[in-house]
């Protein structure tokens, strides 16, 4: 089975046209799968990367075609209907569901004075006696995606987005893939109905790791953690959400029926404590404050910690703690009188773009980078910000000399938010990425359907430098002492023209480098020697094949146990590897089919890069081959073994593990609290086994 493709609208239309005239189940299935992947892809571009490769009109047409296909072939519809819309953009299949209690918003305040006004208003409304204080619960205002999760008799039955506040989208399957959200509440006496509300987030470090993967694979970066979290929940395919380490915090409720439970909370603090007891993630920075002075202290105290938190926040939420008083205070228009958001000043500053440089990456991508007058934002001095590509430059109309508003998105990456058009100097010109590579002068082209302009010269010096930096990096060949500076010098001197030249370095060659003493020369030679003992997955990853990140390299290494076999792999064989689709297979063939590339890999082996014949898995020795030829997926929590241990166990017995269930999966190893993978396995007729059964199989 091949992976789904991203299709141009024209192809969708012509394939659909054929299906209108002659019916073919197989072709309809293939088109359905491709179309869903195409809609997912454009949703990611739109929601997570803040850019669209196609117009709204084209997206709508894709969508209409999907609807028509569903109508023509209802039997292959996969329980999806293609109607809902969010934020102006159609989102194919999500069902719309009304919230039983509307999900309202908070009014915002921006200063201590405004927070005090809120306190005064609430006291006045409640007619409190002079000198009586309101007790507040303060907590971070999480910058994520608001959701509602419904538990009936303790079982998760539905997950909804906020939508327009009255009606949300049914994203249950995606919510179920989030590990921190329990499918079953941890209590023997669950409330008959519990509607909890909270925020889905992607932690800063997970966002950074996701973007690092994008860089490794030569792909575009995600814009920020919030968009990425939101976008992940709004995909048709739950496997996308499952592949992202999303987290959640719960802080509110819709309808709750406390009948049957041990305790009915009287204040918000107790309510959140109960949620925690049920196994739902709640924020541990929530604090009870005796009066508004303490609230203001909390507001400033948390602002100091803001940078260091694991997740993004944009302020605090102040809530009257007593649930009875909350009820008395009620709502005004669309926000509660009992709560208010106290926002932090956005960490944004203005500076000037002094020039726009073009950087050339290892895939040849020409990336425009704004070099700005250095400025501090959120405690860090920023000078450079990527402008991504020509489409992004055009969208914001960024020019040299422009004053721009910048902010630090996600963890550290600075981002240009907008151009201050009033401050634009006269005679400024729109910026165009050149049609030639600024480093080697070769032609640079922007392929149709791609956002990126690329240098076409595979021997370009800039590409070589970046490829070498990747080759020696920690997760690739791990040549510790060969830093970026040294690589640039080696290339500039003409000593390193290829990967294998690194293993041809000797004392004499190294001594040509400036400031290179005996000790550092020895250290460098030692670290190059050390790197020769490697693994096939690191070696494949190091070669920098487009779309082959660490995970893909690992799968390839398992399937083609040595360099020769890998180089000989046909497209068909590659497509048989789990998680390798057509795009990746084609890219691999393009590399391995290239004589220079294959010669280089073999030369490296000759020069001593040593890949042990044994597959190296989890740092342990392989025990036997009893699971060879089988692909396993693990789901749920296993009794007495972590997932990583189970993975190692399978691999140490010659089996292959994969993170998603497909037709190629032979067994699903299933523990308790299994979610969507179990359903998918049942749908596909994949054999489901327990950990004990797995152990028994491995003893044979
Ligand atoms: S309580 C009636 N608590 O902020 C609304 N909201 O601007 C009560 N938010 O829609 C909401 N962190 O999506 C509450 N600790 C927190 C929050 C929080 C983030 C979001 C929520 C809400 C929006 C209002």
Q: Of ligand 1's atoms, which has the minimum distance to the CA of residue 319?
A: 1
127 C-alpha to center of ligand 1: Å?
26
Ligand 1 near 286 CB (within 6 A) = no
343 C-alpha to center of ligand 1: Å?
12
Please choose from 247, 252, 331 the residue to mutate so as to test ligand 1's pocket, defined by most ligand atoms within 8 A of CB. 252
Ligand 1 near 240 CB (within 6 A) = no
| pLDDT number for residue 86 | 34
Confidence of residue 623 (pLDDT cuts 50, 70, 90): low
Straight-line distance from the first to the last Cα atom of the chain, in angstroms, rounded to the nearest whole number: 30
Torsion of CA 526, 532, 533, 537, to 10 degrees: 140
346 C-alpha to center of ligand 1: Å?
17
Give per-residue pLDDT as tens, 418-476: 999 999 999 999 999 999 999 999 999 998 878 899 999 988 999 999 999 999 998 89
Of all residues in the chain, the percent with pLDDT exceeding 90 is 56
Confidence of residue 692 (pLDDT cuts 50, 70, 90): confident
| pLDDT number for residue 60 | 76
| pLDDT number for residue 84 | 36
Mean pLDDT, rounded, of the chain: 88
- Rounded to an integer, the average pLDDT of 246-255 is 97
Q: For residue 615, what are the contacts with CB-CB under 8 A and spacing of at least 6?
A: 536, 557, 558, 561, 622, 651
Residue 158 pairs with which residues in a beta bridge? 150
3-state secondary structure 474-505: CCCCCCCCCCHHHHHHHHHCCCCCCCHHHHHC
Ligand 1 near 198 CB (within 6 A) = no
Ligand 1 near 341 CB (within 6 A) = yes
Give per-residue pLDDT as tens, 323-354: 999 999 999 877 899 999 999 876 788 999 99
Ligand 1 near 139 CB (within 6 A) = yes
Ligand 1 near 199 CB (within 6 A) = yes
Residue 160 pairs with which residues in a beta bridge? 148, 170
Ligand 1 near 138 CB (within 6 A) = no
Give per-residue pLDDT as tens, 267-313: 999 999 999 999 999 999 999 999 999 999 999 999 999 988 999 99
- Rounded to an integer, the average pLDDT of 615-637 is 69
| pLDDT number for residue 50 | 61
- Which position among 49, 141, 465, 558 bears the catalytic label? 141
- Rounded to an integer, the average pLDDT of 72-88 is 53
Burial of 287 per CB tally in 10 Å (0-12, 13-18, 19+): middle
Ligand 1 near 105 CB (within 6 A) = yes
Burial of 273 per CB tally in 10 Å (0-12, 13-18, 19+): middle
Does 668 score more than 80 pLDDT? yes
Does 619 score more than 70 pLDDT? no
| pLDDT number for residue 1 | 40
Pick the more confident residue, 272 or 234: 272
- Rounded to an integer, the average pLDDT of 533-552 is 91
CA distance 523 to 480: 9
Distances (CA, A) of 465 to 362, 433, 438, 485, 579: 8, 21, 14, 10, 30
Does 414 score more than 60 pLDDT? yes
- With contact defined as beta carbons under 8 Å apart, do 503 and 604 qualify? yes
Question: DSSP for 520-555?
Answer: HHHHHHHHHHHHTB--HHHHHHHTT-TT--HHHHHH
Does 402 score more than 50 pLDDT? yes
State the helix-helix crossing angle for 691-699 and 643-652, rounded to 10 degrees.
Answer: 20
Please choose from 146, 268, 342 the residue to mutate so as to test ligand 1's pocket, defined by most ligand atoms within 8 A of CB. 146
Give per-residue pLDDT as tens, 490-524: 999 999 999 999 999 999 899 888 888 888 899 99
Does 255 score more than 60 pLDDT? yes
Q: Of ligand 1's atoms, which has the minimum distance to the CA of residue 143?
A: 19
217 C-alpha to center of ligand 1: Å?
36
Does 91 score more than 60 pLDDT? no
Ligand 1 near 146 CB (within 6 A) = yes
Pick the more confident residue, 27 or 91: 27
Q: For residue 428, what are the contacts with CB-CB under 8 A and spacing of at least 6?
A: 399, 400, 401, 402
Reading the block at residue 133, the tokens are 């204080």
Q: How many CB atoms lie within 10 A of CB 139?
A: 24
Distances (CA, A) of 426 to 306, 353, 399, 401, 421: 40, 15, 11, 10, 11
Give residue for tokens 């002659």.
22
Pick the more confident residue, 578 or 174: 174
Q: Of ligand 1's atoms, which has the minimum distance to the CA of residue 104?
A: 2
Pick the more confident residue, 555 or 92: 555
190 C-alpha to center of ligand 1: Å?
25
**Residue identifier of the C-alpha nearest atom 9 of ligand 1:** 141
* Pick from 1-5, 16-20, 189-193: least confident: 1-5
Confidence of residue 68 (pLDDT cuts 50, 70, 90): confident
C-alpha angle 46-51-54 in degrees, rounded to nearest 5? 80
State the helix-helix crossing angle for 582-592 and 595-606, rounded to 10 degrees.
Answer: 70
Does the active-site annotation cover 141? yes
| pLDDT number for residue 61 | 83
Does 80 score more than 50 pLDDT? no
Q: Of ligand 1's atoms, which has the minimum distance to the CA of residue 141?
A: 12
| pLDDT number for residue 590 | 92
Confidence of residue 254 (pLDDT cuts 50, 70, 90): very high
* Pick from 4-18, 61-75, 133-147: least confident: 61-75
Give per-residue pLDDT as tens, 141-200: 999 999 999 999 999 999 999 988 888 999 999 999 999 999 999 999 999 999 999 999
Ligand 1 near 339 CB (within 6 A) = yes
Confidence of residue 409 (pLDDT cuts 50, 70, 90): low
Confidence of residue 83 (pLDDT cuts 50, 70, 90): very low
Q: For residue 518, what are the contacts with CB-CB under 8 A and spacing of at least 6?
A: none
Does 85 score more than 70 pLDDT? no
């Amino acid at each position: 089975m091949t992976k789904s493709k991203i299709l141009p609208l024209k192809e969708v239309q012509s394939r659909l046209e054929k299906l209108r005239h002659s019916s073919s189940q197989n072709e309809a299935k293939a088109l359905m799968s491709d179309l869903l992947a195409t809609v997912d892809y454009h949703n990611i571009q739109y929601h997570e990367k803040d850019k669209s490769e196609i117009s709204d009109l084209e997206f709508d047409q894709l969508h209409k075609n999907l609807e028509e296909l569903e109508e023509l072939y209802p039997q292959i519809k996969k329980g999806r209907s293609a109607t809902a819309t969010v934020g102006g953009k159609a989102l194919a299949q999500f069902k719309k569901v009304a919230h039983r209690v509307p999900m309202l918003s908070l009014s915002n305040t921006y200063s201590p004075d405004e927070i005090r006004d809120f306190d005064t208003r609430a006291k006045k409304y409640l007619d409190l006696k002079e000198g009586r204080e309101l007790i507040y619960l303060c907590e971070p205002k999480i910058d994520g995606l608001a959701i509602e999760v419904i538990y009936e008799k303790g079982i998760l039955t539905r997950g909804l987005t906020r939508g327009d506040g009255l009606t949300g989208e049914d994203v249950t399957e995606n919510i179920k893939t989030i590990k921190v959200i329990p499918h079953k509440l941890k209590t023997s006496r669950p409330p008959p109905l519990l509607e909890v509300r909270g925020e889905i987030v992607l932690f800063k470090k997970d966002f950074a790791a996701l973007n690092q993967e994008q860089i490794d694979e030569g792909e575009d970066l995600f814009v920020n953690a919030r968009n990425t979290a939101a976008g992940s929940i709004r995909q048709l395919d739950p496997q996308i959400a499952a592949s992202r380490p999303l987290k959640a915090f719960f802080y509110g409720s819709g309808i709750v029926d406390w009948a049957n439970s041990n305790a009915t909370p009287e204040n918000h603090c107790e309510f959140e404590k109960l949620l925690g007891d049920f196994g739902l993630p709640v924020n541990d920075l929530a604090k009870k404050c005796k009066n508004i002075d303490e609230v203001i202290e909390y507001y400033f105290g948390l602002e100091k910690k803001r940078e260091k938190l694991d997740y993004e926040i944009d302020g605090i939420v102040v809530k009257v703690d007593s649930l009875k008083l909350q009820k008395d205070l009620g709502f005004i228009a669309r926000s509660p009188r009992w709560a208010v958001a106290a926002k932090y000043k956005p960490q944004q500053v203005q500076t000037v773009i002094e020039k726009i440089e073009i950087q050339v990456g290892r895939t040849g991508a020409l990336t425009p980078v704004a070099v700005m007058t250095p400025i501090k934002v959120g405690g860090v001095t920023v000078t450079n910000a990527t402008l991504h590509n020509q489409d992004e430059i055009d969208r914001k109309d960024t020019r040299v000399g422009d004053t721009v508003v910048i902010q630090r998105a996600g963890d550290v990456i600075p981002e240009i938010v907008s151009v201050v058009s009033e401050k634009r100097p006269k005679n400024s010109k729109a910026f165009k990425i050149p049609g030639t590579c600024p480093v080697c002068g070769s032609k640079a082209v922007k392929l149709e359907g791609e956002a990126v302009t690329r240098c076409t010269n595979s021997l370009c010096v800039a590409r070589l430098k970046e490829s070498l930096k990747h080759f020696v990096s920690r997760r690739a060949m791990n040549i510790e002492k060969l830093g970026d500076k040294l690589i640039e010098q080696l290339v500039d001197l003409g000593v390193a023209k290829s990967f294998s030249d690194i293993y041809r370095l000797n004392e004499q060659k190294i001594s040509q480098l400036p400031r290179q003493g005996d000790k550092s020369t020895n250290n460098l030679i030692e670290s190059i020697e050390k790197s020769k003992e490697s693994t096939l997955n690191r070696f494949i990853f190091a070669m920098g094949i487009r779309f082959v990140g660490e995970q893909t390299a690992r799968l390839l290494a398992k399937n083609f146990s040595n360099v020769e076999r890998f180089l000989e792999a046909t497209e068909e064989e590659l497509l048989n590897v789990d998680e390798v689709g057509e795009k990746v297979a084609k890219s691999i063939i393009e590399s391995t089919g290239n004589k220079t590339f294959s010669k280089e890999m073999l030369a490296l082996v000759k020069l001593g890069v040593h890949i042990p014949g044994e597959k190296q898995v989890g740092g342990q020795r392989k025990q036997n081959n009893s699971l060879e030829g089988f692909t396993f997926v693990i789901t749920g929590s296993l009794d007495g073994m972590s997932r990583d241990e189970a993975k190692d166990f399978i691999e140490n017995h010659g089996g292959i593990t994969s993170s998603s269930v497909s037709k190629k999966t032979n067994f699903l190893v299933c523990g308790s609290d299994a979610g969507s993978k179990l359903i998918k396995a049942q749908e596909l007729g994949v054999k489901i086994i327990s950990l004990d059964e797995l152990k028994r199989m491995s003893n044979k």
